[in-house]
A and B are shown apart, each in its own frame.
Chain A
Amino acid sequence: MEKAIPDKRKKKLSKDQLTAMAFLLPSIIFVIVFVYGFISWTGYISLSNYNTIVPDYSFAGLKNYLYLFNDFRFQADLRNTLFFTILFIGAVILLGLALSILLDQKLKGESIFRNIFLFPMALSFIVTGVVWQWLLHPSTGFNKFLNLFGIQPKWYTDTTILAGFKWGSIEFGLPVAIIAVVIAAVWQMTGFSLAMYLAGLRGIGDELREAARMDGATEFQVYMKIILPQLMPITMSVVIIMAHISLKIFDLIYAMTGSGANFVTDVPGLYMFETTFRGNYYANGAAIAIIMLLLVAVFIVPYLWSSRKGEN
């Protein structure tokens, strides 16, 4: 597994090896305390009665979790997160892939286009939220264009649920308002998948494509049969990274829409923030945080596991 150290150096190295470990020690202690220790403490709070300003660590069992799963707002959060994640990841991948293939065509001005698609990555979600809040303002913004075609969307103020049916206490289906938030998030994050795919495309040698073309494959077939399969590992990475962004999203929605009427744009990150720091319901907030962590871990742990195995 580890790189074997030749025997003759082993003895001589030991002092340096100890120094190396000593240098790692502060970071390990930080990670143990600030990551694993604090997560455990949050887990403990989530099982307590600490729903007041005064700390109360008495054991409450799963009360806070049961409360959440029966809670209208939290059910809406899970619904919104599901649809946000699917639409957001789908759009970021499709748009990023399409743009990277276009940019890979050796066109003039490629770097200008690339810079245009990438610059939103340098901005914060707060700036994005502030700007898109205005661009998608119901009585203006993009509606000026869309009105020409007789469409008058209400964007993030829309409370309609598409294809809805009753589930728990909420209407389950796609909240139209979520689409507005997805547009802003896609605007910001497409540069990421574009950069990843572009690096991937540059890594695929021209020989392979040439060989396929020689065999009479059309350009479309070259992409479908040769290039896309080679880009699968990149797609996996993009999905994982976008999923973890979307499951914990907070600032964009906080800046752009807030929770929305009937919580149509609410997400767990926002609920956790408001219930903990505005309402002083620490145990409930901790329970939301633990659920968020579990949702992310479902994606991340297998990913970390497999990439470690792959490396070894």
Chain B
Amino acid sequence: MASIRIGSIIKYTLLIIVSLFFLTPIYVIVMTSLKPLSEVSIDQMWALPTALDFSSYKVAFDSLAPNLLNSFYLVIPATLLSALFGAMNGYVLSKWKFRGSDALFTFILFGMFIPYQSILIPLIQFLRTIELYNTIPGLVLVHVVYGLPITTLMFRNFYASIPDELIESAQIDGANFLGIFRHIIIPLSIIGFVVVAIWQFTNIWNEFLFAVTITTGSKQPVMVALQNLSGSQIVQWNVQMAGALLAALPTLLVYIFLGKYFVRGLLAGSVKG
């Protein structure tokens, strides 16, 4: 008995120590963002604020608000389109396999792993040509296209769990390709859509390389604006921390309220094709 208790004390102690390490940044972000400017200094970064001051949130919000809006204009259509394309592709590649379709799937999947630097220069030249450079629709296009591999993978794996007999019996009843998709597959894949949407929402919201190279100034999504905020010398740490929290809030809220689906997406995106 005693040894069991000592064992679990050790386990809890280890977990609590690591938890503290994981929570430290949150503590510092929240505390610093709530401090008045006079208390924001490197010496006092661990100290609690003596008085709550929300002014840094106002400053951060005023400067980030247009970019937060940009991010929403980007992430909502890009997520919806991504999920739609992924569902169609996953449906075909799991339920309507044809000769060479597995090879084709691997051909598509490779795009998930490329460093985006390797397509960035032609991409920008292309976006300039079709006049979508430095526009939100341009970024939407980019995220939908480069989201194809992962969303296809996730839906393909998801649809693999729907029995083929269901499709076959619908065919016998006379349903065609689209009919089966609309009346059988989509109603069965609501959770699949939630998982893929959360995954794409998080990734697109947090993405930086495309955002910083394809947009400038007033068209920039919030992550680029946050980086600019912290890159400048004038802005104070409390404003930066408030800005970081504002920029992270949408994905954090998704994680807090839909964590189960977030983790499922995490695993679905990593499971082998």
Which residues of A are in contact with B by a Cβ distance under 8 Å? Answer: 1-3, 9, 12-13, 15-17, 19-21, 23-24, 26-28, 30-31, 34-35, 37-39, 41-42, 45, 95, 99, 102-103, 105, 107, 113, 115-128, 130-135, 137, 139-141, 144, 187, 191-192, 195-196, 199, 237-238, 241, 244, 247-248, 250-251, 254-255, 268-269, 272-273, 276-277, 282, 285-286, 288-290, 292-293, 296, 300-301, 304, 307-308, 310-312
Residues of B120-176 at the interface with A, using a CB-CB cut-off of 8 Å, are 120-123, 126, 145-146, 148-149, 152, 171, 176
Contact of B223 among A24, A95, A124, A273 (CB under 8 A): A124
Could you pull out 16 A-B pairs where Cβ atoms are within 8 angstroms?
A38-B118, A38-B126, A42-B120, A123-B252, A124-B208, A131-B25, A134-B241, A139-B42, A192-B270, A254-B227, A268-B117, A289-B118, A289-B121, A304-B109, A308-B106, A311-B273
Report the Cα distance A41→B119, complex, angstroms.
Answer: 8
A280 to chain B, nearest CB (A): 11
Q: Given A23-B92, A27-B148, check contact A37 B107 (CB 8 Å).
A: no
Q: Name the A residues within 8 Å of B102 (CB-CB).
A: 1-2, 308, 311-312
Question: Is B227 a contact of A126 with CB atoms below 8 Å?
Answer: yes
Contact with A along B1-33 (1 / 0, CB 8 A): 000000010011011001101111100110010
Report the Cα distance A296→B213, complex, angstroms.
Answer: 22
B58 to chain A, nearest CB (A): 19
Contact with A along B211-251 (1 / 0, CB 8 A): 01100000000010011001000000100110010011001
Q: Given A113-B19, A304-B110, check contact A293 B115 (CB 8 Å).
A: yes
Contact with A along B86-127 (1 / 0, CB 8 A): 001101110011111111101111110111111111110010
Q: Name the B residues within 8 Å of A131 (CB-CB).
A: 25, 28-29, 241, 244
CB nearest to B254 among chain A residues: A122
Report the Cα distance A241→B270, complex, angstroms.
Answer: 8
Chain B at the A interface: mostly helix, strand, loop or mixed?
helix
Report the Cα distance A21→B98, complex, angstroms.
Answer: 8
Contact of B119 among A28, A35, A255 (CB under 8 A): A35
Q: Name the B residues within 8 Å of A139 (CB-CB).
A: 42
Q: Given A17-B98, A196-B267, check contact A127 B177 (CB 8 Å).
A: no
Residue B54 lies at the interface, judged by CB distance under 8 Å to chain A: no
Contact with A along B180-209 (1 / 0, CB 8 A): 000000000000000000000010011111
Closest 5 CB pairs of A and B: A124-B206, A248-B115, A20-B96, A122-B255, A38-B119
Q: Name the A residues within 8 Å of B171 (CB-CB).
A: 9, 12-13, 16
Q: Name the B residues within 8 Å of A244 (CB-CB).
A: 113, 115
Residue B73 lies at the interface, judged by CB distance under 8 Å to chain A: no
Question: Is B97 a contact of A2 with CB atoms below 8 Å?
Answer: yes
Report the Cα distance A121→B269, complex, angstroms.
Answer: 13
Q: Name the A residues within 8 Å of B240 (CB-CB).
A: 130, 134
Question: Is B99 a contact of A2 with CB atoms below 8 Å?
Answer: yes
CB nearest to B105 among chain A residues: A308
A23 to chain B, nearest CB (A): 5
B193 to chain A, nearest CB (A): 17
CB nearest to A268 among chain B residues: B117
Q: Given A38-B119, A137-B42, check contact A273 B213 (CB 8 Å).
A: yes
Question: Is B123 a contact of A38 with CB atoms below 8 Å?
Answer: yes
Q: Name the A residues within 8 Å of B178 (CB-CB).
A: 19
Q: Name the B residues within 8 Å of A21 (CB-CB).
A: 92, 98
Report the Cα distance A191→B270, complex, angstroms.
Answer: 13
Contact of B45 among A116, A119, A134, A196 (CB under 8 A): A134
Report the Cα distance A272→B118, complex, angstroms.
Answer: 10
Question: Is A16 a contact of B108 with CB atoms below 8 Å?
Answer: no
Contact of B146 among A34, A41, A300 (CB under 8 A): A34
Question: Is A276 a contact of B120 with CB atoms below 8 Å?
Answer: yes
Report the Cα distance A127→B240, complex, angstroms.
Answer: 10
Contact of B15 among A37, A113, A254, A268 (CB under 8 A): A113
Report the Cα distance A34→B18, complex, angstroms.
Answer: 42
B186 to chain A, nearest CB (A): 14
Q: Given A27-B89, A285-B121, check contact A130 B259 (CB 8 Å).
A: no
Question: Is B11 a contact of A107 with CB atoms below 8 Å?
Answer: yes
Question: Is A304 a contact of B273 with CB atoms below 8 Å?
Answer: yes
Q: Name the B residues within 8 Å of A12 (CB-CB).
A: 171
Which of B18, B100, B171 has the most chain A CB atoms closer than 10 A to its own CB? B18
Question: Is B121 a contact of A282 with CB atoms below 8 Å?
Answer: yes
Question: Is A99 a contact of B18 with CB atoms below 8 Å?
Answer: yes
Q: Given A122-B255, A292-B115, check contact A2 B101 (CB 8 Å).
A: yes
Contact of A30 among B113, B145, B176 (CB under 8 A): B145
Q: Given A9-B171, A131-B29, A140-B42, check contact A31 B148 (CB 8 Å).
A: yes
A29 to chain B, nearest CB (A): 10
Q: Name the A residues within 8 Å of B61 (CB-CB).
A: none
B148 to chain A, nearest CB (A): 5
